[in-house]
Chain A
């Protein structure tokens, strides 16, 4: 028998084991103990708890996971995930558990040493304020006194970020805040006040609390989705939609899944299992990533293109798909799909220029002789049966007009659209010139042939024919320079051509493209691309995405469960959007609110525009019309503002509270007065002189955000110009000949524009460190709120596990307190005022008809008097009762009943909901809100959001579909669950699935998984675009100027050419130049958790930069060495991680590693090292500024310039290993 060795051992063991109860195995190996377990009581005690509370984390991770928070003796002890999500069906994995290590580490913050427990303010400011107040006896006067004295102003501004915070009381803090607001509104205008708080979906009430205050006083809310560069601009361009994507459980439905620039295990941690599990039902997974990423482990194939070249790979795949599935062979499913759901059959005019033809504009009914404003927005195709042009339903021309009622739909009737004119009647072959950007040398022009014919006197071809020409796909019968061989590396967009650019073998590109399309063909469109920040944060990401979307639209995957695009960066889906918007922007009291494109705001007010040493026509096509020639980007920004394309706040160079009075004094209608004044140059735009003190932003409040530790591209410029403190900017300002024409240049750039930077947070961040006042916020386990996401179809609750400890307050309570103090100070000083708001031309309104054919006519250049709402912002006068702001904050105003609530062009009559809200929330008695439903508590606001949204109030959803049906003439019956009314208590009990609503484009009816655009495809509802279909072709003048009318490859920006940085790969021991990427981190969600001891312990405990062994060797760097990365924008100090999973020539500094933890001083500057964004800066792409034209019209967070940062490079070098803090 087997047994233990050695008689002596055995004897000893027997002896020992006899001293206690238990059963020793016969072979003496082990002890089975039966009794005597009291010694382990500790673990039972530790596990015991008093209660478990449901809450979640509001951190813009898209997770929106429901958590169990354990409480013992009134203390939060730890958390674990809820597992009670409603079932998604027996044939697929459930949503349980959802969470990640970061969320699991959250409770650490509750009692951590970095918890903000009390209000703090910069000591030097507090002293000066107290002195002035004692002297002047008035808070507003005191604030004005301190901030308008250059010397004292300098004293506290230059101290920003340098310690010296002191505790103050809530009372004093709110008084200073209120005084700053009142003074700013009085002296400069309400639009000099701004609020920054992103991603409402991650905590809707907390967002709305502050946004409501800012909006009611006339301040400006800054956009975030575009600023974060998470907005895929291609989405409005192609779909006319901000972003709409499938929930994670729909990944399961995909038969072919590409993860392209998205590292799902790290960035979609709670839902990654749908991908790993779907492989077991035979889903093929392809990962496209420049590094061997976490996701690569799960791939069947890994494609590693060089960073930023993804568009080239996608173009080559498009080439293969067009050739094999449209030319060599036609796939009925694809052909039928693109005829119905894309602009491919529509006609485009060809203009002759210098002996060749260039694609110009969509042919419209106006060209065919139809009258009326809308005619120019009815696009035309050729009917195969008749061979004649036809004007199908569904284009923009049917959306707003009376005669379009019942015809805004995708019904083709008897019409069978012709995709190509090839081989039809009198079609001739015409050579078109197309831009190309793949060669640094050369004329940048491709010449390719298309079949064309004359219709209504215009030479036209189809978008499909242009696509074949663009992609270089030849077809029999059409001569020309199109490539016929995949191996032809000289012909753009072939597989061999992309290999030279991306490094991905041509054969592999062919194989993946073929498989993707074949699977879509066989499965009816169940091929999906999950695309993420890796491909979306580039300057030219809109072109990259359009190349991707070409793949999913050509193969009929959009609007199909398991197919299409799945873009995930940001928790952008606030499912109860209509109710939230009413709350957040105070629409129930005053309309319109001021909403600004964040990127442009920061670009101007951090003076990054002054460092543009290149011309805006850097992006121009050689075939462009010269719209950008000789302009700086700031010029184009001012043009966009004055044309009413994009919003611009602060708007004018005078106080908006004075304009209405001036107009009245002049005896003019305000809009006409303002337009005339502007037209004659007497009234200037603030964006044309952003450095004039009167045009500076003065008060900025940041909550639920960490601007200076996370999203501030060009972080050092923020520090220098906006805040007026030390920075490590090394860049040169533009030389005189490089400066803007329309934007005034001050010889000395201002340093320190902001009077007040206020932040609300529960932990110390780079933003709180630089703030003048920091208010202590309740955490996510200490308040009521609502959460939703695009990743799952539920809304669910935050609930307080404990009440806010120390002096912390919820955002809701904090802004109520600020509003009360503000109203008390403002009532007597400001009273009731008329505020003139300049509003841009808005998407999903008839404003989209402002610019027929996308022909740009700048009134300043033509000398015309501008017309508000046409080529100038709309001018709206609103009344602001400054003494009543707090009362309005705390009640649901009457405008909601009178005007309804509008989302994406559909207005919901919500008057019928008010009695229910009065019943739930109570009624206000007395004051301006007498008789209105109360919003006195955060739970009241939760109820209001749920009651006023279609997704959470089925009655409204049904009403919205009825409204929509009148316009489309098609049916949506049965989509909405009319009797579903979700209350806040429901969301506290368990995550609740929302109901199908016209607020979103997908159907969840009958328990199906959400996928975007299924309503469009299945119910013939048009996309919100010019043609009403998905667009491959964009005909706006500026799109032609940029050479981006069609999907195209544009390489990353060349920083050597633009800024004189060294070239990638240059250098040696003294430091080498590499591409600098900032992907999302495994150990944090943006900056949150990167300071959390648990996450730091699981990683390397501080800022790190990943690099390849080859790069490290060249620069003499070893793993864990201290290194410095520096370029013209700033300098970063971190430790190196050397790994063979990194490609050579590229380093990663994972996103949002802040300066709060383990950041020494740099050798380069002698000052504290920067954050990841210290090496980046803003560069605005002009085409993102287009507005007033169909889907290229502004809406908040829908369209605007992106704050991209991926094109940057840096020098990285080993530094002294002796570091000084």
Chain B
């Protein structure tokens, strides 16, 4: 008997990612531009090779996120069982420090207005948002963007370290690609399992992993538990926060902010059906290299009548089943076989998958005539690409190069096959056959990867409001009186909300800016508010012109 559950999943085609970070910015602007979450990027983009955010998070020997198998072959949290956790609850040593993320900062922009007549040009100098003191900026959420600091910083990349012999960080062999990351909304989420309060949960209807802000007690075990470091601690509210898969949007059929605003058009959202009863078994296969296939084996064919029947039995609505059948995610994972999970060896069964990137051939080999788009040497070129296959394999297949190689061959074959058509030549079916596809299938894949319109990239079933009663099972107490909730005086933003620990707030920085001596009219100074973290809630004093115009000169 199969227990069918539905999961909203995402695929990102890294071959198209231009590393622009629009996803990061729109996400941050929408969700985390507020006090307590200055350093939080639900969505971030990493240059690879590079240390990532927080730095070296992929080093699970250090951070001990995710799952491992114990000597009996059973899953256990890598950071230790819950018992040990409960004992260490007040001293969690396996947390990235703020320096591992980065120490958020701002600038005393006000000097540009308020500087008195002086002997040099005024300038806004950086101030730590942690201490309020002057600072030299030495790390950020994206410090090693585009191989910045490469020779000094990239060797600490935990992925690179695994293949350091093969990779030289030199101009002639330079390579990079971008890895956008959100919460993986795993089928086997170690963050949820880590939470001592039961505050983290996976939504039953679509698998989105959330933190119940009501329940969260700020133990931060989820931060440790998540091997992707995609659960964050809000310093102001003392609660964990994380990517919500934009549930207020996807519930009404709108894609996540990061997807809709992705100008590389590399993100796909769709539904996946899976067998919830087989998750643990699949996550427990002994050989890490088998995890990719094991994870695929949990996912169900939405066209299979038995699956459909079982899904209906679970109460999954018809339009959701239709969405599952149209799912671009399913097509990319199965029909075209080009999407791979990120770090399956963490055994969390991540549900944000990736198509690995092609890259130019290394110069020294181009004399041999290796061309990515040329059918004649299509496959010779794959191993000559600048991005080492081994690197991609460490990311997506627990080090097994063969699945990565197969994906890259399919992408290359698509280019070669389509070039024939582009130039008005005969279709060459042999190119498709060589990668285990048909020409027709290659053309379908081309359509989805190259052309797919908004409605094809995002196939998102809407939430069923008529089932609201089931979804909104009653809770005791007032729904508004969670900490920082409206019942408690407005949740976020420095202009409202709860008192906060000075050490993690920008209070001093703000105060300094607003009280230092300056030529500017004191009345005017009151009219300035630091809005770096203001989230659009409330109307702090001085933010807007006085309605009766009293302060106008």
Contacts and interface: CB of A to CB of B under 8 A. Distances in A.
Contacts of B83: 6, 8-9, 12
B492 to A, nearest CB: 8
18 contacts: A25-B279, A29-B188, A29-B189, A31-B198, A35-B471, A35-B474, A43-B248, A94-B453, A100-B22, A112-B531, A162-B120, A166-B519, A273-B265, A769-B122, A1091-B124, A1100-B148, A1141-B174, A1156-B123
B366 interface: yes
Given A164-B519, A282-B420, A507-B367, A769 B121 contact: yes
A114 interface: yes
A283 B145 contact: no
Contact of B198 (A20, A117, A301, A1097): A20
Interface residues of A, number: 160
A113 interface: yes
The dominant DSSP class at the B interface is loop
Given A80-B30, A101-B25, A276-B18, A113 B530 contact: yes
B491 interface: yes
Nearest to A719: B121
Nearest to A119: B553
A1067 interface: no
Interface in A74-90: 75-81, 83, 90
B32 to A, nearest CB: 10
A30 B248 contact: no
B70 interface: yes
A297 B149 contact: no
B261 A1141 contact: no
Contacts of A35: 470-475
Contacts of B213: 39-40, 42
Contacts of A98: 263
Contacts of B24: 101, 1098
Given A41-B479, A97-B260, A101-B20, A1098 B142 contact: yes
B361 A300 contact: yes
A1137 interface: yes
Contact of B147 (A26, A292, A302, A1094): A292
A13 B198 CA distance: 9
A83 B262 CA distance: 11
B55 interface: no
Contacts of B367: 505, 507-508
A1160 B122 CA distance: 10
A731 interface: no
A1138 B20 contact: no
Interface string B435-476: 000000000001001110110000000000000001111110
Contacts of A38: 214, 472, 475, 479, 482
B524 A167 contact: yes
A120 B113 contact: yes
Contacts of A507: 367
Nearest to A1166: B120
B366 A167 contact: no
Given A34-B470, A124-B117, A805 B248 contact: no
Nearest to B419: A282
Given A42-B482, A99-B22, 11 more contacts: A21-B475, A38-B214, A104-B22, A108-B531, A113-B528, A162-B120, A164-B115, A284-B419, A1093-B106, A1158-B107, A1158-B126
A283 B423 CA distance: 10
Interface stretch (B158-166, B318-326, B327-335, B410-418): B410-418
A159 interface: yes
Q: State the 6 A-B residue pairs at the shortest beta-carbon distance, nearest first.
A: A35-B473, A282-B419, A39-B214, A164-B117, A163-B115, A33-B201
A614 B114 CA distance: 44
A31 B276 CA distance: 12
Contact of B118 (A163, A278, A511): A163
Interface stretch (B299-307, B390-398, B534-542): B534-542
Contacts of A1203: none
Interface stretch (A579-587, A676-684, A819-827, A1101-1109): A1101-1109
Interface in A1136-1163: 1137-1144, 1155-1161
Given A91-B451, A1141-B146, A34 B471 contact: yes
Interface stretch (B56-64, B73-81, B88-96, B401-409): B73-81
Interface stretch (A264-272, A830-838, A967-975, A1184-1192): A264-272
Interface string B511-553: 0010000011100100111111011100100011100000011
Contacts of B270: none
Contact of B25 (A1, A39, A270, A1094): A1094
A1099 interface: yes
Contact of A29 (B21, B70, B261, B280): B280
Interface string B471-512: 111110001101011100001100000000000000000000
A5 interface: yes
A300 B123 contact: no
Contact of A1099 (B142, B449, B531): B142
A296 B360 contact: yes
A273 B264 contact: yes
What size tier do the contact residues of chain B reach? Answer: 35 or more
A277 B473 contact: no
Nearest to B210: A40
B66 to A, nearest CB: 12
B28 to A, nearest CB: 7
Nearest to B265: A273
A485 interface: no
B19 A294 contact: yes
B283 A31 contact: no
A508 B364 CA distance: 11
B248 A44 contact: yes
Given A282-B416, A1157-B107, A1141 B171 contact: yes
A1094 B415 CA distance: 37
A81 B263 contact: yes
A5 B75 contact: yes
A953 B246 CA distance: 42
Contacts of A4: 74-76, 193
A835 B549 CA distance: 44
B359 to A, nearest CB: 6
B553 A805 contact: no
Nearest to B107: A1157
Given A40-B213, A276-B18, A1158-B126, A3 B454 contact: no
Contacts of A163: 115-118, 121-122, 519
B150 interface: yes
A29 B196 CA distance: 13
A1101 B198 contact: no
A1 B143 CA distance: 45
Nearest to B39: A1097
A32 interface: yes
A1119 to B, nearest CB: 4
Interface in A1069-1084: 1082
Contacts of A96: 454
A301 B202 CA distance: 45
B320 to A, nearest CB: 16
A519 B422 CA distance: 11
A92 interface: yes
B124 A1158 contact: yes
